[in-house]
Structure 1
Amino acid sequence: MTEGTSQDTSTFPNPVYKETVLRPLFDGAKAHHVEGFRLIDRAHLVMLHETGILTIEQAHPIAQALEAIDRDIDVDALTYTGEVEDFFFLIEKQLRTRLGPDLAGRLHTARSRNDIDHTLFKIGLKARIDPLLERLVHLAETLAAVAERESRTMIVAYTHGQPAQPTVFGHYLSAVLETLLRDIARLEAARDIVDRSPMGAAAITTSGFPIDRDLMARLLGFSRPLQNSYGCIASVDYITSTYAAIELIFLHLGRFIQDLQFWTSFEVGQIYVPNAFVQISSIMPQKRNPVPIEHMRHLSSQTVGRAQAMLTIMHNTPFTDMNDSEGESQGFGYGAFDSGARVLDLLAALVPTLRIDADRVRQNIRRSCITVTELADSLVRLEGLSFREAHEIAAEVARAVVGIGGDIAVDGYGAFQEALRQCAGRTTTVGQAQFAEIVSPENFVAVRDRFGGPAPRALAQAIAGYNEEISGVRSRIEEARHRAAASTKDLETRFTALLGAR
């Protein structure tokens, strides 16, 4: 013992270890995994009896004891004392008190803390993935509805931070939605990995007892068992897949949110945020601050950071059961679900309220001369020029119009005639009215009636496809919910039968 210390180093647990490791783990189990422990104990007891590993004379009193523990122990009021290692051993101690060591110890037949822990963590993740998927689908439905509503609402599209081409707000939102649907698919794929039960793997290699891993999976609401028993306790891809999907979701949404920040700025101003989402400066009364957008941006970044941290925690860890992937890491990761949910709720509430400032959009289109690409395209079709020749003519027109701060439809025709004579050596067949139509933003959008384009027909087809995809996701969510409810009912029925057995 080091001089000046008085801590007992001969009895487990060491006081410092108790406070720095065991107490936080116990409190984490209380907060996150009590229901998971309860389900696993009950399902395992049912399986042990139905496979003949335990007789009814053994299973019945264990069922009664588990029921009594649920009834008698106020988990929220528990304080960690160090008398037992963790929450699992607290339940085992309670069983021993009620049943004696022989009978109480039979519940742990053919299982290990290893398969129990990873099953707990998967139950905990599913309980968080499913509400997140619900929120994502709600946001997808919201984006689809607003995209349809704004399918003819003109905006300025930007590349490299500069005005590029006109499009419609519905086309832009559809791009965000299409990315979101791919992100949802990634989270669904991760959920499928989470939805495979490790129970029955025991420590590493399953068991010599005639266990039924399929029955355990069904009773616990999993779609099936994870096959390789070593992988059940070693592979953490259910963690990495989940948090990688979450990281990408909020990285991508963060880019959309950054556009909202940019487009609501005074200098751009093409999006108007209603007063319900605006805070006024405490000292500058003229300022309208759409601060919910800022909150979504930093909450998205927090979510990305938490998810990324989970991947880092798993990095360079051994391919086996280890503490790095267990209780405290799981609890830390849950914060990503919490901050992510706040982003999704706020974004789904904000997007339907946004309005495009049509006057500012028209002004920005006029000032930036962004319809000139269609002038070049039209010259190829109408005048038989090469695109490079047409591009040079269009560039000359844009320079002339921007130089006088003019409007291309009104002030560009003369510059166009002169540029055509200089570049192509001839006059045009395009009249002034036709020229004005060619360089209008409405025509720019209308002629882009190609797969994935912003024209009304193409955009309507795209939105219909997105809605069909969203409907498929929602159907899968409902199927999973019904399967989970059926599993819960089945386990309750079988466990109640053990309670009532004589």
Structure 2
Amino acid sequence: MWKGRFAQETSQLVQSYGESVSFDWRLYAHDIRGSIAHSKGLLKAGILTAEEQSAIESGLLEIRAEIDAGRFEFKQALEDVHMNIESELTRRIGPAGAKLHTARSRNDQVATDVRLYTRDAVVEIVDLIADLQRSLIEASERAGQAVVPGYTHLQRGQPVLFAHHLLAYVEMLERDAQRLLDANDRLNVMPLGSGALAGSTIILDREYVAELLEFDSVTQNSMDAVSDRDFAAEVMFAIALCGIHLSRLSEDIILWCSAEFGFVTLSDAHTTGSSLMPQKKNPDVAELTRGKSGRLVGNLMALLTLLKGLPMTYNRDMQEDKEPLFDSLDTIQAALAVFAEMISGMEVNETRTRAATSDPMLLATDLADYLVNHGVPFRQAHEVIGKLVAYSIAEKTAFADIPLAQYQEFSPAFEADLFDCLNLETALAARKGIGAPSPKNVSAQLDFWKQALSDEG
């Protein structure tokens, strides 16, 4: 028996190989929303009667309620979420259901559904980023005036407030949120009405349908509309970079939790033990997040590789866009949520941080700045302090214990007030340029972010 242009049924192997309903079922709410809007466009164009449109809308809402409740059976033989819903709708309401796909292709339908789904997910991710930022700010306030060494090359460099270190990640996360919102602007364009690739001779009011679906505008080229997955790549890039930022924070926390550093303690609720060594308390959340960042980068690379060789317009390869996209959306949401919870339970060990910042070498740059402020060119001052550091190490004598006369052998510009800049609190207070970690600056930044995140909330 002929089925359309085909004389044979699809092979079971091909059905199993080509089905996507096992993962695209999650688009159901957005597919139904898009179909209801499309039915209203068909009603406005005179393709559907009011009774038919009402039956379609009621039937679709009934199906959505059943899926929500877990009572709907998705059939692999129907390939995807779109055909499962349309087939069941037609079975329930008859010929009116068969009219729903007028002036629509699965190509523009899936492109619309994925945009709707991703748009909603981006809003959730941005909210989760703000939650993590709030957790970091609260942790900064709990840390008070705790000071840690700032590192370059994982070598102690200069002292900074612990809060200043955490606020660096608040800045990174803000860029992540802004990238996602920026991507959402380009994402929020409706492809529905583009058909398979060349639109339809049945003309619908696309702007009207776009307004129903809260799209900002409609696509202007039907071929681009059905084949464009730039929006997914942009969102996945922003997610991957956010994952990289979480991975960097994870690495800091893993180091800080170690006995060698001992700067912070994580709660028992966010650590695990060892199956063999009873003394262990492992920072698994941070380690898992560091690992999951690799998945986020891999998902982005998978999508870009998928798209790079495709001719216009839609190709079945593009079915493979959803699993990496869905995985990235799921992974970043889970990572942000658990990280915010973990940071909320993190406490700073100020005794250990204070001991680490008692290293007098952390103030070597301050001594160089002292010489500059006394008329010595910076390069010459840098060399003088380098020699002074070598002397301090060789003599096992801290900067504060070296007599003034000895300092003056290295440079006559040294005077008795040099010892003032060897005080940690004084050194921090002097770092008052915009963006620097003086207590006054850090306090102002905490106030700024609390207000900004309060406004967003």
TM over 0.5: yes
**Partner of 2:430 in structure 1?**
447
Pick the aligned partner of 1:303 from 293, 296, 303.
296
Judging changes above 3 Å, is the alpha-carbon distance between structure 1 residues 402 and 285 closer, same or farther for their aligned structure 2 residues? farther
2:360–2:399 contact (8 Å) kept in structure 1? no
* Structure 1 length-normalised TM: 0.81
The structure with higher relative contact order (CA 8 Å, sep 6+) is 1
Aligned pairs, number: 451
Pair 1:126 & 2:119 matched: yes
Deviations along 1:368-418, one digit per CA (max 9) or x if unpaired, are: 61111101111222x332223322332233223333544332x2x32x532
8 Å contact kept, 1:243–1:311 = no
Supply the distance in 1 between the matched residues of 2:297 and 2:63 (Cα, whole angstroms).
40
Does 2:16 align with 1:28? no
Match of 1:46 among 40, 62, 78: 40
Find 1:55's aligned residue among 25, 45, 49. Answer: 49
Q: What secondary structure does 1:269 align onto?
A: coil
Q: Normalization by structure 2: what TM-score?
A: 0.88
Find the residue that maps to 1:207 and give its secondary structure: coil
Unaligned 5+ residue runs, structure 2?
Answer: 1-5
User: 1:348 corresponds to which letter in structure 2?
Assistant: A
Task: Name the stretch that deviates more: 269-278 or 231-240.
Answer: 269-278
User: Is the Cα–Cα contact under 8 Å of residues 393 and 419 in structure 1 kept in the other structure?
Assistant: no
Q: 8 Å contact 1:366–1:407 — kept in the other structure?
A: no
Give the CA deviation at 1:68. 6.2
Please state how far the C-alpha of 1:92 moved relative to its aligned partner: 4.1
Deviation track 1:10-60 (CA, whole Å, cap 9, x = no partner) reads 6221121012223xx133333x12222222222111121124343335434
Is residue 2:419 matched to residue 1:436?
yes
CA distance in 2, matches of 1:194, 1:98: 34
Give the partner amino acid of 1:261.
I
Contact 1:367-1:406 at 8 Å conserved across structures: no
- Work out which of the residue numbers 128, 140, 149 in structure 2 matches 1:147: 140
Alignment partners' CA distance in 2, 1:228 and 1:330 = 23
Measure the CA separation in 1 of the matches of 2:289 and 2:85: 42
Counterpart of 1:370 in 2: which secondary structure? helix
2:387 equivalent among 396, 404, 425: 396
Q: Which amino acid aligns with 1:325?
A: M
Matched to 1:401, the amino acid is S
- Preserved contact between residue 369 and residue 402 of structure 1 (Cα < 8 Å): no
- CA drift of 1:439 comes to 1.3
2:408 to 390, 395, 420: 420
Q: Secondary structure at the match of 2:99?
A: helix
The structure-2 alpha-carbon separation of the partners of 1:435 and 1:245, relative to structure 1 and needing over 3 Å to count, comes to: same
TM superposition shift of 1:259: 1.5
Alignment of 1:284 with 2:267, yes or no, is no
Match of 2:353 among 345, 361, 375: 361
Any idea what the Cα deviations from partners look like across 1:166-202, whole Å, max 9, x if unmatched? 0111111111111111111111112222222211222
1:156 aligns with 2:142: no
1:379 aligned partner: 371
Matches within 5 A, 1:77-476: 77-78=72-73, 80=75, 82=77, 84=78, 86-97=80-91, 101=95, 103-150=96-143, 152-326=145-319, 328-367=320-359, 369-381=361-373, 383-409=374-400, 411=401, 413-414=402-403, 417-421=405-409, 423-424=410-411, 426=412, 428-430=414-416, 434-471=417-454, 474=456
Provide the rounded CA distance (Å) in 1 between the counterparts of 2:325 and 2:254. 28
* Runs of 5+ unmatched residues, structure 1: 1-8, 476-502
Change (3 A) 1:10 1:287: same
